Amino acid sequence: MDKSAIRRFAGISSRKERRRAKRIIIKKLRAGTIFKTGTGKVHKVIKLTETHICIQSLDSGGTVRIPIDNIKKMLVYFFRIRIVERKELAVFHHYNSIMFGIL
């Protein structure tokens, strides 16, 4: 699929899928949560606001802010497709390795 088709497909979601994505974000991505990315690096969730998630790399110390809307769209896309490549996750955020780690 091309990028615009992936965005359209992820943008059209049912209420049930949006609730499920929000529940996963609230339960799994709390401040202090540590996870590995797709490349094997260790990251930690620093802060979770209503609009963004701040994630810090424990290897390099750099931080990344990811909009929660992008994570919700990525999760809805994953619920529907079930098999996702890293190239497809690059549509939602350019740090696709972190997005893969969140999955």
The sheet carrying 34-36 orders its strands as: 34-36, 42-48, 52-57, 63-67
So what's the pLDDT on residue 7? 63
pLDDT of residue 34: 87
**How far is residue 31's CA from residue 41's CA, in Å, rounded to a whole number?**
18
Q: Please provide the size of the chain in residues.
A: 103
pLDDT at position 2, please? 59
pLDDT in tens, the chain (103 residues): 656 666 666 666 677 777 787 787 777 778 888 888 777 888 888 988 889 889 888 888 888 888 888 888 888 777 777 777 666 766 766 666 676 677 7
Q: What is the pTM of this model?
A: 0.70
